[in-house]
Amino acid sequence: MALPAPSPSSTRTTNAQCRAVVRVLLALVCALCVLPLLSACSSAESGASTPAAPTTEEEAKASVGGELKVHFFDVGQGDCQFLEFPDGTTMLIDAGPTDAGEGVVQKIKELGHDSIDILVASHPDSDHIGGLRYPLREMKVGEVWAPDASKDTYAYEKFLKAVDGQGLTINKAESDTTIREGEGYSIEFLGPDMSRQRDDLDSNSFSTIIRVQFGDTSFLFTGDAYKDQIDRAEEDYVDVLKVAHHGSYSGTDEKLIEQIQPSIAIIQYAEDNPYGYPHDEVRAALEGVPTYGNAENGDITVTSDGWSLDVLLSRGDALW
């Protein structure tokens, strides 16, 4: 059976563009206010030529000099994101359940990569870290990050063994930690906030919250974090939101969406999953936000040039 052709890219307006429009309007108002003062300048001064300032879009694109590609791989009921930065840096966040790991490696290699610079295990649950043993075994990995949380499970033990097999140590992922700053981009952990953690909390509460800033565009990766944790960690606008916990009501509500005002939302979940994801409460909270899901759209790629966003789907259309 022939596979369906990928859907054409759709360009989305970002929060950065909306803010830029506001700045332009304010600049016009200021210009009208100072125009009478400029007319009083001497003839010599009025004869001087001033080069036109570049537009905000030109400045944003010039500051990054390339594109950021973020792939939300379809791994069934699990999470997996792979990032390609313009300077060649690669980053993998989770790799879905164990049976998805080999497929993740194949997809990364098909993109032309034999190594991963940054590997992040968002938290110890098997639907996030189960597949990570495969890239750790089959690809060269530069550094590994994970929260200071353990889980006595087969998947977690295999993950630790694979890390040790590469001769690597795990860097502690926690809030206020910058992983990398490169050509027009930064990668920062906003969570977990270890000062607020207790030993009796479940593993989801230790989920990493990662903000990637590229030019004037931003991405937020939330693992299975709880909505109050995300609310405390991120108070700014976000252009692309990886919806927490596969669309569970525990990770998303109207208050959070009103606060971060995403331009695009991505939900990673499997069709006919036993949990009923995405929950009705999440659908209601994201009403009006273009939202995509792996169950309906397969692999999803969001490309940023530092100013605008393009969405490429393997199949189907936006959920809403």
Q: What is the mean pLDDT of residues 177-181?
A: 95
Distance (Å, whole) CA 173 – CA 318: 33
Distance (Å, whole) CA 77 – CA 246: 8
Q: What is the mean pLDDT of residues 52-78?
A: 82
Tell me the domain boundaries of the chain: 62-313
Token pair belonging to 92? 């993998």
Q: What is the mean pLDDT of residues 259-287?
A: 98
Query: What is the band of 16 on the pLDDT scale with cuts at 50, 70, 90?
Result: low
Q: Domain spanning 62-313: which superfamily? A: Ribonuclease Z/Hydroxyacylglutathione hydrolase-like (3.60.15.10)
- What pLDDT is attached to residue 58? 77
Query: pLDDT digits over 87-145, tens only?
Result: 999 999 999 999 999 999 999 999 999 999 999 999 999 999 999 999 999 999 999 99
Q: What is the mean pLDDT of residues 195-213?
A: 91
- What pLDDT is attached to residue 151? 84
CB 257 within 8 A of CB 244: no
Q: Distance between alpha carbon 183 and the CA centroid of its chain, in Å?
A: 17
Query: What is the band of 65 on the pLDDT scale with cuts at 50, 70, 90?
Result: confident
- What pLDDT is attached to residue 52? 47
